[in-house]
Amino acid sequence: MTHPDAPRPGTAPGGDATVDELVVVAAAVAEAARHEAMSAFRTPLFVEDKHDDGGFDPVTIADRTAEAAMRTVLRERRPDDAVVGEELEDTPGTSGLTWVLDPIDGTRAYICGLPTWGTLVAVTDGTRPFLGVIDQGHTGERFVGISHGDRREAWLEHRDTTTPLAVRDGMDLAHATLFTTFPEVGTPDERAAFERVRDRVRLTRYGTDCYAYAMLAAGHVDLVIEAGLSPHDVAALVPIVEGAGGVATSWTGGPGHDGGRFLAAATPDLHRAARQALAA
């Protein structure tokens, strides 16, 4: 007999909803952001620079209106959950669940009119993310991943069609395709470590932001290596990569969802080889 206080099958850790119910809410959150982001995409935009040390960290009104729209959905549908976002103040919660939001990941691509940005939505149980969404409004693609207990799955929703996602298997480091957002990765030491991997793979491409992880989950990319990331940059990516069968960690193999140095690989063997090259 099931104990009356035991969680229902599929119930999210620390929450009162099943994972599938949270997927529906996450889709609504992503849809709200898509509307705001697409209304300003490829239009003249005022770009504000959040950096004050000589770098360039752009933000637009679309970033802020998109996050505000996402939070409106959560206030209506998940009022007891905490919310952490890139642009607006954190909201505390009492349910044990936290939503981590990045309304436009890849603002540099966004202001250049390139469709490699995406809206990121993650749900965490206070220890790790177990549900993630990458939504690319211009292409109409929504990548969803679940990594919750024994449940690992990921899929693409596009034009009323749902397609399972699976990483590419059997690729060794010498034949791998590697992606990163910037050619200048973090500190000089981090860049040198990245270049050790770059010099051993077959193909390296730059500047695709969260879309690179979507392509890894879809089986087109083998490795993504980055540094200097924030939690809102990566929380949604972990369940998608893991749900598709891949590995997503820090450079040393620990949890990667808090940001910093992040490594995603299609297979454990490829992940191990990349880690060894990064540490060499």
Reduce the DSSP state of residue 156 to 3 states and report it: strand
Tell me the percentage of the chain whose pLDDT exceeds 70. 91
User: For domain 173-279, is the CATH number 3.40.190.80?
Assistant: yes
pLDDT (0 to 100) of residue 186: 84
Which own/partner pairs from 82-90 qualify as long-range (CB within 8 Å, at least 24 positions apart)? 84/231, 84/232, 85/232, 86/230, 86/232, 87/59, 87/63, 88/64
pTM > 0.75: yes or no: yes
pLDDT (0 to 100) of residue 6: 35
Cross-strand pairs, 122: 100, 132
Res. 131: pLDDT tops 60? yes
Q: Answer for the pair 225, 274: CB distance below 8 angstroms, yes or no.
A: yes
Mean pLDDT of the chain: 91
Res. 2: pLDDT tops 50? no
pLDDT (0 to 100) of residue 10: 62
Res. 63: pLDDT tops 90? no
pLDDT (0 to 100) of residue 3: 32
Topology classification of domain 19-164: Fructose-1,6-Bisphosphatase; Chain A, domain 1 (3.30.540)
pLDDT (0 to 100) of residue 5: 34
Kindly indicate the confidence band of residue 4, based on its pLDDT and cuts at 50, 70 and 90: very low
Mean pLDDT of all residues in 212-217: 98
Higher pLDDT, residue 169 or 3: 169
Closest CA to 259 of 221, 233, 222: 233
HSE (side-chain half, CA atoms, 13 Å) at 78: 29
Higher pLDDT, residue 37 or 48: 37
Mean pLDDT of all residues in 97-110: 94
Structure confidence by residue, pLDDT tens digits, 237-271: 999 999 999 999 999 999 999 999 999 999 999 99
Domain boundaries, the chain: 19-164, 173-279
Kindly indicate the confidence band of residue 55, based on its pLDDT and cuts at 50, 70 and 90: low
pLDDT (0 to 100) of residue 46: 63
